Structure 1
Amino acid sequence: MAMNREQKRALQKAGQLAEDGTPIRGERRDPAQRLRQERTSPGQFVREVRSELRKVGWPTRKETARLSLIVFVAIVIMTAFIFAIDLGFTKVVDFLYPSPSSLSIAISAVLPFL
């Protein structure tokens, strides 16, 4: 396998290459065997999750309210922006391809009977 110096040094540092540049074979395990060894009980899983959640830096109530307000305002602004673009495109398409209004359709439907 052709490797440059940088790759060889990185692999040697990781312990995957010997000093002479030959690869070191690691212990290979059957994937099913590895899975059985690495599994934990549901109780252990819940304990680990709770332990990790204690390490999280949770925002204060004030920060949560402020950030929620920012998100709400951003949503309102984006909604108004998309509405304006949609309305503009509708006006342009209606101008380019005029369609008879519902009133003119109703009048043309009644005129033959007058």
Structure 2
Amino acid sequence: MRVSDSKAVSGPREDRERRRDTDKRTSIPTFYRQVVAELRKVVWPTQEQLVTYFFVVMVFVLVMIALVSALDLGFGKLVFWMFGGGGTQ
């Protein structure tokens, strides 16, 4: 079955009608109820999981700090070596 071009693509009138439905604003109480309903669906971590996640994140951050510091120190020494940063007068 072949669809004509006029049926396959929505025109400006259909776009306006579709936009009208999505442009309506939600009232503040409705928004609040929806937020509370979504927060009830959240699976909150236990205290044990939270402590574990905290230490995992801290170890990762410390490793990244060490890596960036080592690269900074290494590139700094390389630049001073290449351009003679310890000049004598």
User: TM above 0.5, one fold?
Assistant: yes
- For 2:30, the equivalent position in structure 1 comes to 44
TM-score normalised according to structure 2 size? 0.72
CA distance change for structure 1 residues 90 and 21 in 2, over 3 Å: closer, same or farther? same
Bigger helix fraction: 2
Q: CA deviation at 1:51?
A: 0.6
- For structure 2, the 5+ residue unaligned runs are none
The 3 A distance-change label for structure 1 pair 92 and 30 is closer
- Among residues 10, 21, 29, which one is paired with 2:3 in the alignment? 21
- TM-score normalised by L of structure 1: 0.58
Structure whose CA Rg is larger: 1
Q: Name the SS of the counterpart of 2:85 in structure 1.
A: coil
Displacement over 3 Å in runs of 4+: 24-27
SS of equivalent residue, structure 1 residue 58: coil
Asked if residue 55 in structure 1 is aligned to residue 54 in structure 2, the reply is: no
Aligned length: 82
Identity over aligned pairs, percent: 32
RMSD: 2.6
SS in 2 for 1:21: coil
